[in-house]
Amino acid sequence: MGGLRAIAGSALIAAACLLVACEDAEPAAHGARPETVEEFFAELEQAIQKDGKVFHATVELRAVDNGVEGLWATTEGWVQDGAERARAHWQKGPGNTNDIAERTVHIYDPDGVYSANLDGDDDPGFRRRTEAENCLADAPTPIVAQVACGFLPFGGPDWQLSVEQSKFEGRATVALVGTYAVSSPVGSEEFPVGGPTPHPVMTAATRAVYTLHLDAASHLPVASVSWVDSDPDRKVFGSEARFQTEFLDDSSLPNDWFDPRSIGYVPPAEQERRVLEDPKLGTPVYWLGRSFDPQNGLPPLGSLYVNGYQPGRQRGGDEPNIQIGLRSSGRGGMVRLDHYPPGDWEAFKQRLGGNFPWTWCSEMREFTVGAAKVTILAGYESFPYDLDPGAVTVVPVTPGHDPPPVQGTLTVPPLKTEPCPATPPDRFMAEVRFPDATVVINGPLGYGGQDGRPWGAYDTAEALEVVARALRPRQQGE
């Protein structure tokens, strides 16, 4: 952690969940009281599992920040029998002034975390867990850590942990006690000289303390509290939450409750299929398949990626309808296929005017493959990289701009230099015109787009001919 303010804020709040078990939670007697950290977590993991049941908890987390107390968040969590999957709902409280999402939902499984912002525009996403997200790194599994920390989506400091026999509000408990040394005097990174005057509690603190209580009989969470040693009563900084727990029948929840799809998550393979088969694309999809091995000395390609732009967009924009790419496993190169409705690619080049990289000092070769007309363009990567920086002024091209920029005007300067280089061309692209679509292979997407480094071995006229001849319509379901 960077300093005491962070600990008193996110780390203390994240770790300081006051967990109070409901009276109707069915207790279960366990073995001897745990004496080690490993035994403590083992008993907690066993306590939250019950055959045919789902552990359910609702948490109200209250925090004290600079003497002001308020509801920081409400969380609700469910743990599937077996403790391999969990689901948590987060609701930001009125006392939380941080600029974060108001409502989020998370599903935890052995692979990682699936998250959705219920009030945002972003699609639900997936991420692998990191150690920084685990508020109790000593917990045997991330799910056990989530329960112990009140299903809060935050990490915490590296607590020094021990186990004690204790009490909470008169109830016998087994307590996990964590401590963390802190030091934030004026002049430190936390409180630089000349900055805002820190509260004396902040500069006087030497240790942060975290205590998680388990009921001595059931080993279910009872309470957890955090504070700094300069403020043990949590008058200035600290937090607590109240936890209501119960066990639910599996059948009381939807069958897909722990499935990421239930929060709107779409797996990459399904996202890809939706883009490739979108009826609004306006063009068929021509591709090389999910992998491509020309067997002629060129590196094989895999690692398929698909980008959908604006299916059904207004005609005349500069973006392709769809973009398909294949990369080699090493640095051998890649191929990118940009799809345009007939005529749109030509309109894009017109708007670029003299800034289309192959306008000047270029060569071309044309041939046909079935119903497709193929044009391979050969030019030079020296435009504009070898130009005097003052000779070219980059002006953004507005999609659909009417009238289009005029070649050679001051607003859209051409990339022409004379005389043309005497060396052979070193940058290549291809245009494949089918009756119902134009597929541009390794072409530019904007001004100065002739950098050939990503294409590697596929930046030759011979390689592009191989690719153009191999293009085929994608069949549904491929």
List the one residue out of 424, 349, 336, 443 whose CA is nearest residue 380. 424
Peptide bond into 414 cis (omega under 30): no
Can you tell me the mean pLDDT for 52-57? 94
User: CB of 307 within 8 A of CB of 338?
Assistant: no
pLDDT at 318: 63
- pLDDT reported for residue 300: 94
Q: How far apart are the first and last CA of the chain?
A: 48
Neighbours of 452 (CB within 10 A): 18
Q: Indicate the Cα dihedral angle 118, 82, 135, 27, nearest 10°.
A: 100
Q: How far apart are CA 265 and CA 126, in angstroms?
A: 8
Closest among 206, 116, 214, 106 to 154, alpha carbons compared: 106
As a whole number, the mean pLDDT across the chain is: 80
Other C-beta atoms within 10 Å of 381: how many? 17
- C-alpha to C-alpha distance for 49 and 70, rounded to whole angstroms: 33
Which candidate, 339, 344, 342, 346, places its Cα nearest to that of 285?
A: 339
Find where tokens 């000593």 sit. 138
Overall average pLDDT of the 78-100 stretch: 90
Residue 383: pLDDT band with limits 50, 70, 90: very low
Kindly tell me if the per-residue pLDDT of 121 is higher than 60.
yes
Q: What is the pLDDT of residue 135?
A: 76
Residue 265's φ and ψ, nearest 5 degrees, are -70, 135
| Residue 399 in this model has a pLDDT that exceeds 60 | no
Q: Which two tokens stand for residue 178?
A: 């964590």
In the chain, residues under CATH classification 2.50.20 are 37-185+202-261
pLDDT tens digits for 412-468? Answer: 444 555 667 788 888 899 999 999 999 999 987 655 555 667 888 999 999 999 999
Q: Which residues contact 334 (CB under 8 A, 6 or more apart)?
A: 301, 325, 326, 327, 328, 454, 455, 456, 458
pTM of structure = 0.67
Segment 337-358 shows an average pLDDT of 79
- Cα separation of 407 and 460, whole Å? 28
Q: How confident is the model at residue 124 (pLDDT cuts 50, 70, 90)?
A: very high
d(CA 363, CA 90): 60
Q: What pLDDT band is residue 8 in, cutting at 50, 70 and 90?
A: very low
Q: Which amino acid is residue 340, in one-letter code? A: Y
Phi, psi angles (nearest 5°) of residue 254: -55, 150
pLDDT at 31 over 70: no
Residue bearing tokens 């920086």: 389
- Identify the three-state secondary structure at position 88: strand
pLDDT computed for residue 174 by the predictor: 93
**What per-residue confidence (pLDDT) applies to 133?**
64
CA distance 147 to 240: 15
Helix (H) or strand (E) holding 75: strand 68-79
- Residue 281: the pLDDT is 82
Query: Which of 187-196, 226-235, 337-346, 459-468 reaches the highest mean pLDDT?
Result: 459-468
The residue among 15 and 214 whose pLDDT is bigger is: 214
Report how far apart, in Å, the C-alpha atoms of 248 and of each of 55, 143, 148, 169, 263 are.
6, 18, 19, 27, 20
- Residue 110 three-state SS: coil
Summarize the confidence of residues 75-87 as an average pLDDT. Answer: 91
Task: Quickly tell me which residue has 């050969």 as its tokens.
Answer: 378
pLDDT-derived band at 117, boundaries 50, 70, 90:
very high
pLDDT of residue 238: 84
Q: What is the pLDDT of residues 255-285, one digit of tens each?
A: 999 999 999 999 988 888 888 998 888 889 9
- Assess whether pLDDT exceeds 60 at residue 339: yes
> In the predicted model, what is the mean pLDDT of residues 194-207?
76
Confidence of residue 472 (pLDDT cuts 50, 70, 90): very high
pLDDT above 90: residue 247? yes
Report the candidate in 245, 262, 429 with the shortest Cα–Cα distance to residue 345. 429
Residue 321 has a pLDDT of 85
Q: Tell me: the pLDDT tens digits for 214-231?
A: 989 999 988 888 888 888
**Residue 379's pLDDT band (cuts 50, 70, 90):** confident
Task: Give CA separation, 47 vs 44, 197, 221, in Å.
Answer: 5, 46, 9
Between residues 152 and 249, the one the model is more confident about: 249
Please give the structure tokens belonging to residue 279: 């009826």
- What is the CATH architecture of 37-185+202-261? Clam (2.50)
Question: Among 327, 330, 338, which Cα is nearest to 302's?
Answer: 327
Q: Do 121 and 105 form a contact (C-beta atoms < 8 A)?
A: no
Does the pLDDT of residue 131 top 80, yes or no? no
Residue 6: which pLDDT band, with cuts at 50, 70 and 90? very low
Give whichever of 24-28, 150-154, 341-345 has the largest mean pLDDT: 341-345
